Amino acid sequence: MKLTFKLILVIFAILFLFFLGYEWWRSYPKLILPVPMEAKSQAEKIDSILISTLNQYQLSGLSVGLVKNSEVNYIHSIGYAFLEKKDSLTAKSGINIASLSKIFTALLIARQFSERGITLSNSLNELSPDLVRKYPRLDKLTLRELLSHQSGLRDRKSIASFLNLNKKSDLKTYVEKELSRKKVYSDSKDKTYADLNFELLGYLLEEVSGRPFDELMNDFLSNELGMMQSYFLKSEKDTLPPIQGYQKTWIWKRFKENSFRSPVTPYPSSGMISTAEDLTKALIQLSRGSLGRLQPELEWLNNLNNNEIAGFQLIPLEEKVYLGHFGAQNGFSALLVVDPENGEGLVILSNTRDEREFRITLAKQLIPFLKKKH
């Protein structure tokens, strides 16, 4: 008996050592960039903050854009897009912005539906009676409830999806498959964040317009917002991200690859690829409020019940609440906040999983630069 126990311990020890070696072998060393000794200009001071953030939170890459008085005030990137090749991350590097995608899905919904006389109060039964007949529990749900995550729908994660064993499908097939699951529905209308709300919105948009979601969205991004480097993945072949995502390993706390994999293409809730340069263009329009090109869309999304803008999150920073959204998917992290009244906002992108809330900490350090007169 003692011999068997010792043998088991030896086997576990060997397996653990093998795991340590494998984790080290498949990982990359942490980045430590030199912090400038003296920073005089605003740009130099922000550069120093970014470098310190990258070092402290062990990030592989970091991009930041600031908009002040509805103009680009600062934009810069540090670190690497690919650690193996040491390709530098730039403001033009395409990165998966995860749930920041919801902002642009909401704006597109506003554009397309407002042109057709559809409002936030319209029900799903009015928009797609065939879908409601097939799934009666959708009856009386409104666009406002979907956009505000108050529909009662829930994301259901299976073991297969956790292990990434599910086959990818088109938007229509994916939405109808999810709606057929019993556990996806809840009797409560309390606010519960669920990606399925936005997948369903994309489905409805295709039904109403008769055009593919990605076609409508990519036209909107390029032609209306001038975001020429931004797009939604539209096929299974478009699965590799323009840059690599990373997260820390368990033991060594080095970098390991963590690529983004979408369960459906196009992916209205989280499937957008964009750049720091393009997102500052969107920030400029959002920060202009009633003077911006997105004013009609923001008016349509205005939720008069609680002064929220449907499709946006309320994000408190430095004793003030901003409109915006967080994004986190696999090895990618993002944050966008905007204040239309004062013409300011910022965007933070990283190809590293945020495990210690660096986005909030960094945003709080950057907000004061938007307040300074010089």
Higher-pLDDT residue of 126 and 18 is: 126
- 344-350 and 61-68 beta bridge pairing: antiparallel
pTM of the model: 0.93
Kindly report which listed range (22-31, 58-67, 342-351) carries the lowest average pLDDT score.
Answer: 22-31
Per-domain residue ranges of the chain:
95-371
Span 267-301, pLDDT tens digits: 999 999 999 999 999 999 999 988 899 999 999 99
Place of tokens 């020429």: 228
Contacts of 47 by beta carbon, 8 Å cutoff, 6+ apart: 36, 39, 76, 78
Percent of the chain with pLDDT over 90: 74
Nearest partner of 121 among 312, 310, 286, 314, judged by Cα: 310
Q: What is the rounded end-to-end Cα distance, in angstroms, of the chain?
A: 77
Residue 36 binned pLDDT confidence (cut-offs 50, 70, 90)? confident
- 61-68 and 71-82 beta bridge pairing: antiparallel
DSSP string, 144-205: HHHHTT-S-B-----HHHHTT-SPPB-HHHHHHHHHT-GGGB-S--S----THHHHHHHHHH
Query: In the numeric block, which tokens belong to residue 128?
Result: 């797609």
Query: In the numeric block, which tokens belong to residue 18?
Result: 């093998």
Place of tokens 């680009």: 72
Span 150-166, pLDDT tens digits: 999 999 875 445 445 55
Q: How far apart are CA 221 and CA 93, in angstroms?
A: 17
- Look at domain 95-371 and name its CATH class: alpha beta
Q: Would you call 54 helix, strand, or coil by DSSP? A: helix
Residue 233 binned pLDDT confidence (cut-offs 50, 70, 90)? confident
